[in-house]
Amino acid sequence: MGKLGIAGALAAASVLSTMQFAIVPTASAAPCPDAELIFARGTTEAPGLGPVGDAFLDSLRPRLGTKSLGVYAVDYPATMEFSTAVEGVADARAHILSTATSCPDTKMVLGGFSQGAAVTGFVTASVVPDGVSPLDTPTPMPAEVADHVAAVALFGKPSTRFMKAINDPDVVVGPNYAAKAVDLCVDNDLVCDPHGRSFSAHNQYAALGLVDQGATFAAERLQAIWATEALEPSTPTLSTQTPSMLSAPLQGAAQPHVAATPETLPGPAPLPGPVTPAQPPAVAPST
């Protein structure tokens, strides 16, 4: 990526260098949790979720009640070499596809801070960004994968102005995820606010309540999905076995029609013939 061409470039690079990603799965309560948080940390932050990601997890977990929550931290070098951000896109994509296949009932929450927000945004894209060769970036995920994602929470996503300054394409959440995404930006944040001028504002997401706002959004979407699923009636299993014929027909049951032959037709009783008059008894002749 190109170098930042605005005042405070070094400070911006320090903030955004955490955009590189690593995959660090953590233990979950069950092989397939009810929900899973997949989060990409910001530039120069230590491997894991990063401060914003940790705060997001801490705010989200108690809002889910008894539901289990797995965690997956997108891992990458997190240096100022922004070209490695594509590695994070590939890592996050691979884990999302794997989860959708191996745990189809798990509802995923995608998140990211700063450069990590850019990574997560690019993961949801339905097309390769303008100016990027398809050979240099992972293929967009199949559309049906979005059905496994409950929410997308982005904190401090780099603005169009910022991405242009570092010679990178704009971050656009794909149409399959836009309705389930929240894009949170602190006022005057140099990274995400198109008119921002403050680097310190970029570190105020937890303190100003935006992390809690994102957690509330994600939790409400999860709870709505689970509530809908709980109301769906289970589909009864229909037997495909052909019932055996009864040895004797039930009384009153319709009998199969049998073609009658002339010999079996009952017909009316024969009419009586003409009555023959009785003959008088014979009289013997007298002698």
* 152-162 confidence digits (pLDDT tens): 999 999 999 99
Please write down the HEC assignment for all residues of the chain. Answer: CCCCCCCCHHHHHHHHCECCEEEEECCCCCCCCCEEEEEECCECCCCCCHHHHHHHHHHHHHHHCCCCEEEEEEECCCCCCHHHHHHHHHHHHHHHHHHHHHCCCCEEEEEEECHHHHHHHHHHCCCCCCCCCHHHCCCCCCHHHHHHEEEEEEECCCCHHHHHHCCCCCCCCCCCCHHHEEEECCCCECCCCCCCCECHHHHCCCCCCHHHHHHHHHHHHHHHHHHHHHHCCCCCCCCCCCCCCCCCCCCCCCCCCCCCCCCCCCCCCCCCCCCCCCCCCCCCCCC
What is the reported pTM? 0.72
99-109 mean pLDDT: 98
pLDDT (tens digit per residue) in 207-232: 999 999 999 999 999 999 999 999 98
pLDDT at 85: 84
Q: Is 28 a catalytic residue?
A: no
Mean pLDDT of the chain: 80
Domain annotation for the chain: domains and CATH numbers: 9-231 (3.40.50.1820)
Q: What is the pLDDT, as a whole number, of residue 253? A: 43
Question: Would you state the pLDDT for residue 30?
Answer: 52
**For residue 235, what pLDDT band results from cuts at 50, 70 and 90?**
low
Catalytic residue, chosen from 59, 159, 193, 202, is 202
Query: Residues 101-121: what's their mean pLDDT?
Result: 97
pLDDT of residue 258: 43
pLDDT for 197 equals 96
Query: Looking at residues 135-157, what average pLDDT do you find?
Result: 95
Q: How confident is the model at residue 8 (pLDDT cuts 50, 70, 90)?
A: very low
Question: Which candidate in 75, 114, 168, 193 is catalytic?
Answer: 114
Q: Supply the pLDDT for residue 255.
A: 45
Q: Is 195 noted as a catalytic residue in this protein?
A: no
Q: Answer yes or no: 189 catalytic.
A: yes
Residue of 34, 54, 189, 193 marked active site: 189
